[in-house]
Amino acid sequence: MASWPDFRPTALLLALTEAEVDFVVVGGVAMIVHGSARPTADLDICYAIDASNLNALGAVLVELGARLRGLEEDLPFVPDGGTLKRTVILALSTPDGEIDLLVDPAGSPGYARLRERSEETTLDGIAFRVASLDDLESMKRAAGRPKDLIDLEEIEVIRRLRRELGRS
C-alpha cells in the first residue's frame, strides 16, 4: 500500500503524524489496512476540531501544497485553522495525492467515539489510528454508494476470516 502513481499515502500519513495532528483514517485506506483488496486513490481522515489541532492540520496542508479539488480555476485557498473550523468536508489535492477531510461523516459516532474505538496500526514505520470495522460498516451503510455496498460485503468476509484465524 505504500505508493500508487500520483498517490503516496505514506507521505501524507507521515506529514500528519509528524505534526502530531489528531486524526483517524476512514474510507478506502482504512479498508485496506483491515485487509481489503480494493484499490483507493485518496486518503480520507476524520479529525479533532479543537483549535490547536486545526492549526496543526492547517500547517500540514500548507506544507503539503494542498489545493481545492474539483474546481475549474485555482481559487485562493489558505487551509489555516480558521478556514478549517468553518468546513465540514473538504476535498483537496496535493503533490502526494488526494486527501479528504471529514469532520463528522454520515454514520460516524462522532470523532471522540470514533477515535476511542479506532485501532492503532503501523505502515512503513508510521503509526496512526484507523477506524474500527464496526465504525467503517456504519459509515459505509450511511453513504450507501455502490462501492460502499461492495465494501460492506468485504467487511463481512474480513470478519469471517478473522474468526477462522482466531483474530476477532
With 80 as the cut, is the pLDDT of residue 71 above it? no
Residue type, 41: A
With 80 as the cut, is the pLDDT of residue 45 above it? yes
Cα gap 28→26, rounded to integer Å: 7
Supply the mean pLDDT for the chain: 91
At 145 the pLDDT is 92
pLDDT digits (tens, 9 = 90+) for 54-67: 999 999 999 999 98
**Pair 47, 79: CB distance under 8 Å:** no
Poorest-pLDDT segment among 32-36, 77-81, 157-161: 77-81
Radius of gyration of the chain (CA): 16
pLDDT digits (tens, 9 = 90+) for 144-164: 999 999 999 999 999 999 899
Residue type, 154: E
The neighbour count for residue 103, using CB atoms within 10 Å, is: 17
- Which string of DSSP letters, residue by residue, matches 138-149? HHHHHH--HHHH
With 90 as the cut, is the pLDDT of residue 1 above it? no
> What are the grid coordinates assigned to 60, written together?
500540514
The neighbour count for residue 69, using CB atoms within 10 Å, is: 14
Partners of 4 in the β-ladder: 7
Domains of the chain with CATH codes = 9-162 (3.30.460.40)
Euclidean distance between the first and the last CA atom of the chain, given in angstroms as a whole number: 23
Question: Residue 152 contacts by C-beta under 8 Å, 6 or more apart in sequence?
Answer: 137, 140, 141
With 90 as the cut, is the pLDDT of residue 82 above it? no
At 76 the pLDDT is 74
At 44 the pLDDT is 97
Task: Provide, rounded to the nearest whole percent, the portion of the chain with pLDDT above 90.
Answer: 76
At 5 the pLDDT is 55
| Residue 53, φ and ψ in degrees, nearest 5 | -70, -40
**Pair 141, 109: CB distance under 8 Å:** no
4: DSSP letter: B
